[in-house]
Amino acid sequence: MSQPADETRPGEPADPARVPPSGPPAQPPPVPPQPTYPQQAYPQQVNPPSAYMPPAYAQPAQPPGPPPPPTMRDLLAVNMVWEGILLVITVGLVIVTLTSAPVVHLDGIISPLGYSGLVAAGLALSLRTGTPNLAVGNIAGFAGVVFAHLATDDRWSWWAATIAVVAISAVIGLITGLIVAVLSVPAWAVTIAATILIQSAALGISSSTPVPLHLTGPYPTTLWVTAFAVISIGGGALWLVPALRTALSATRSAGEPGRWAGLPAGLGAVVGLTGSSALAGAAGVSLAIYSGVGDPEGGGINLTLIALAAVLIGGVSIFGRRAGIFGTALGILLVQTVLFLLNLHAVSISWVEVPIGGLALLGLGVSRGIESISDALRPQVNPGPVPPAGPGAAGPVSPPSPTPR
């Protein structure tokens, strides 16, 4: 029988090549390093995102963002319809007044519009910005006293005295506006407190007596009525600019009334109170020229109530922002016609203010009606995505971009 090739026969010497070494096992020889070549870019197939997209995405909860801004579509058509109705009522009342007695002249109704219209235009501006200036009547009386003092005692020119008085009145409004803006307190409260200081200053300058004004001609009715009409109607048209209306009426949607409203609402307060006070100062000059004296009690709360009744009946919203174009001009014409009609029939002074108060209350109903009708007719506009409701809610997250394999 043949032996295996790897076995040694008995009595033969062992082959050294087939004898295993007695020491540790030999290590394999080192492999020489392989040369590296620059990797070439080959087009790779990208799987669709759905192939490796996780079932859900979540990010850390984000704090709720600010609410979306309110829709500024205030439906001017509602105000215009009311202004059309008011035009018919006012024209009818003027015709009845002019035909009630042969001695009645239209100038008796139009002339007071110069000063009372400027006060109403100033109050309307403050209401549009949501910061009602209830000191406009007192500012007008104070301005009339200062104007008469400068023009008569100090012998200033009428134009120089007018510019100085309007500037002083604007500074008063600026100070009250800054107080409202910094403290975020209601403007009506600040302006009512300001009336005490303004009235005291007027009494101190005039020594509690009217300051006579030396007139050299008749009262320029056309000048003052034209100035009022341009300011009132032009300001109403300018208010229709959405960016301007939104920037200056932030107090209407300031949220919690006791919370600090911030700088946007403060801007409206500063502009509204400064502008309304400047217009009241110009009205004081007109009032002094109309009456021939600077009376510290010539304006006051009565002039403020006349302006308030005119503005509210004209359709300027008591809540701010919403207003028309011609409403204030028509409202003050209606109020002055009622006052002239009462004086014509020698109604007792105790009853003269009753119709003014009634018109102011009716104006509140007009504001409520315009607000309700506008909200009912305004189309529902989607304000955008709603922020997360709670700390554990996750906002919408876009899927990650696919990564090539």
Q: Is residue 226 part of a domain?
A: yes
Q: Is residue 202 part of a domain?
A: yes
Q: pTM for this structure? A: 0.75
Pair of tokens at residue 135: 């000191």
- pLDDT tens-digit series, residues 92-141: 999 988 888 777 778 889 999 999 999 999 999 999 999 999 999 999 99
Q: Is residue 229 part of a domain?
A: yes
3-state SS, residue 304: helix
Q: Is residue 353 part of a domain?
A: no
Residue 5 to residues 8, 9, 50: CA-CA distances in angstroms?
8, 10, 64
Residue 13 has pLDDT above 90, yes or no: no
Cα separation of the two ends of the chain: 64
Q: Is residue 130 part of a domain?
A: yes
Burial of 301 (0-12, 13-18, 19+ CB in 10 A): middle
Please give the residue range of the domain that contains residue 171. 106-299
- Is the alpha carbon torsion for 330, 332, 335, 337 positive or negative? negative
Q: Is residue 403 part of a domain?
A: no
The closest alpha carbon to 359, from 309, 311, 314, 316, belongs to 309
In degrees, to the nearest 5, what angle opens at C-alpha 207 toward C-alphas 202 and 210? 75
Contact 179, 185 (CB under 8 A): yes
Number of domains the chain is built from: 1
Pair of tokens at residue 358: 């009634």
DSSP annotation of 274: H
Q: Is residue 6 part of a domain?
A: no
Q: Is residue 369 part of a domain?
A: no
Instruction: Check residue 60 and give its pLDDT.
Output: 53
307 CB-near residues (< 8 Å, 6+ apart): 116, 119, 120, 122, 123, 136, 137, 332
Share of the chain above pLDDT 90, in %: 54
Contact 205, 308 (CB under 8 A): no
Pair of tokens at residue 367: 């504001």
